Amino acid sequence: MKQSKLNRAFLILLLAFGVFLAGSYALIYTIKPDNTHSRANQVPMAAPTGGDFRLTSANGDVALSDFKGQVVFVYFGYTFCPDICPTNLAQVSLAYRQLSDEQKQTLQILFISVDPERDTPERLQEYVNYFDADMIGLTGSKPQIDEIGQRYGVVYQKVEGDKQNYAVDHSAFTYVIAPNGELKEQLPHASDPQQFIDALNRYSL
Strands of the chain, DSSP E: 54-57, 60-63, 71-77, 107-113, 135-138, 156-158, 168-170, 174-177, 183-187
Residues 17-51 have pLDDT tens digits of 333 333 333 332 222 333 333 444 444 445 799 99
Q: Identity (one letter) of the amino acid at 100?
A: S
Q: Which range has the worst mean pLDDT, 41-55, 126-140, 166-180? A: 41-55
Under DSSP, is residue 138 helix (H, G, I), strand (E, B) or coil? strand
Q: Is the pTM of this model over 0.85?
A: no
Whether residue 125 is predicted with pLDDT greater than 50 in this model: the reply is yes
Burial of residue 25 (number of CB atoms within 10 Å: 0-12, 13-18, 19+): exposed
Residue 203 CA, distance from chain mean position: 21
Residues 146-175 have pLDDT tens digits of 999 999 999 999 997 787 889 999 999 999
pLDDT recorded at residue 14: 37
pLDDT (average), residues 122-150: 97
Share of residues in the chain with pLDDT > 90 (%): 73
Compute the mean pLDDT over every residue in the chain, rounded to the nearest whole number: 83
The span from the CA of 71 to the CA of 201, in Å, is: 9
